[in-house]
Amino acid sequence: KAGVTQTPRYLIKTRGQQVTLSCSPISGHRSVSWYQQTPGQGLQFLFEYFSETQRNKGNFPGRFSGRQFSNSRSEMNVSTLELGDSALYLCASSGQGALTQYFGPGTRLLVL
């Protein structure tokens, strides 16, 4: 079974721009979670989607948003980028009724 895939893998943006990241879960997985990883804060939960609905949300500003499509693929969007948004953005998927999350390779975002 193919793992979680994320695109793009690397991204460079400037302050004020917006960015959209994409995640395709493991086939059959309907839950997709997004995390931000930075050296200072570690891994922090952004939000989780299941069947196109956001079920859980972390403590991030409204500039961070996401959505999920009917095929379970998910996107997250960050508007009005700030320098502090530079991070590794990780997507993880889990199967229905399963709590184990499997991570994709991540998208490394650099904001200049």
Partner 1 sequence: QKEVEQNSGPLSVPEGAIASLNCTYSDRVSQSFFWYRQYSGKSPELIMSIYSNGDKEDGRFTAQLNKASQYVSLLIRDSQPSDSATYLCAVNRGNFGNEKLTFGTGTRLTIIP
Interface residues with partner 1 (CB under 8 A)?
Answer: 31, 33, 35, 42-45, 48, 50, 55-56, 58, 88, 90, 92, 94, 97, 99-106
CA distance 48 to 69: 13
93: which 2 tokens? 């998927």
Transcribe 60-75 into DSSP letters.
--TTEEEEE-TTS-EE
Q: How far is the CB of 96 from partner 1 (least distance, A)?
A: 8
Q: How far is the CB of 16 from partner 1 (least distance, A)?
A: 28
Owner of token pair 């893998």: 9
Residue nearer to partner 1 on the CB measure, 18 or 38: 38
